Amino acid sequence: MVAKSPMVIAVHPGVPAKSLAELIAFGKAQPGRLAAANEGAKTFGGMMSQMLNHTAGVQILQVPYNGVAPAIQDTIAGRTQVVLVSSAALLPFLKRGELRALAVSAGRRVRGLEDVPTLAESFPGFEYVGWFALFAPAGTSPAVLQRVNREMDRVLADPEVAQRLFDLGLVNEGAGSAESLADFLRAERERWGKLIKDIGLQPE
């Protein structure tokens, strides 16, 4: 495992919600008032946004964009009110106060966004993150895998590398082991398989 990339739910500063609970309450009280920008129904952010609707029992309109940048810019401009994209993409705009973060999708609070609650704090088990990992062809020698894993863990522990990953909005928790990565992938398949069924996403 190289790093994980949490998603962030953020809103335009004019939205009268300072927390996820307030956003959901506002969405239920005024149906049709909130529109969420993301990269499309079958992207990471799009699926998570639909899952939030399903889990919270709210109907925030889903607005697909051709890329992260226009989704963020339209939310800053107020044409959409909610945006759900990676923390890496949002951090500069959050720091400038152009958007307000309400929740992160990681299982625990994210460094640099410590004051922002996790979605799991409102909805236990709601944990979806992007991730980056190293893979090798099947049949690769276990000794080679162990050496690469050991060296990668050493690199990730380097303060300069760790800071660079942080600057990119990535969570670095060390390389772990080949076995822990395999366990993570099994859990991911189950987690995303359930999400797809829950939101009724159909393959094309």
Q: DSSP of the chain, one letter per residue?
A: --EEEEEEEEE-TTSS-SSHHHHHHHHHHSTTS-EEEES-TTSHHHHHHHHHHHHHT--PEEEE-SSHHHHHHHHHHTSSSEEEEEHHHHHHHHHTTSSEEEEE-SSSPPTT-TTSPBHHHHSTT---EEEE-----TT--HHHHHHHHHHHHHHHTSHHHHHHHHHTT-B------HHHHHHHHHHHHHHHHHHHHHHT----
What's the pLDDT band for 168 if we cut at 50, 70, 90? confident
What does the pLDDT look like over 26-48, one tens digit per residue? 999 988 889 999 888 888 888 88
| Nearest-5° Cα angle at 124, 118 to 129 | 50
**pTM, rounded to two decimals:** 0.83
Contacts of 193 (CB under 8 A, 6+ apart): none
What's the pLDDT band for 16 if we cut at 50, 70, 90? very high
Look at 32 and 133; give whichever has higher pLDDT: 133
81 vs 89, 98, 118, 161, CA distance in Å? 17, 12, 20, 35
What does the pLDDT look like over 65-103, one tens digit per residue? 988 899 999 999 999 999 998 888 888 899 899 999 999
What does the pLDDT look like over 146-161, one tens digit per residue? 999 999 999 999 999 9
Predicted local distance difference test score (pLDDT) of residue 71: 94
Predicted local distance difference test score (pLDDT) of residue 39: 83
> Average pLDDT, whole number, for the chain?
90
Predicted local distance difference test score (pLDDT) of residue 195: 87
What's the pLDDT band for 204 if we cut at 50, 70, 90? confident
Identify whether the C-beta of residue 66 lies closer than 8 Å to the C-beta of residue 146.
no
State percent of the chain over pLDDT 70: 100
Which burial class, exposed, middle or buried, applies to 123 when counting CB atoms under 10 A from its CB (0-12, 13-18, 19+)?
Answer: middle
Predicted local distance difference test score (pLDDT) of residue 127: 84
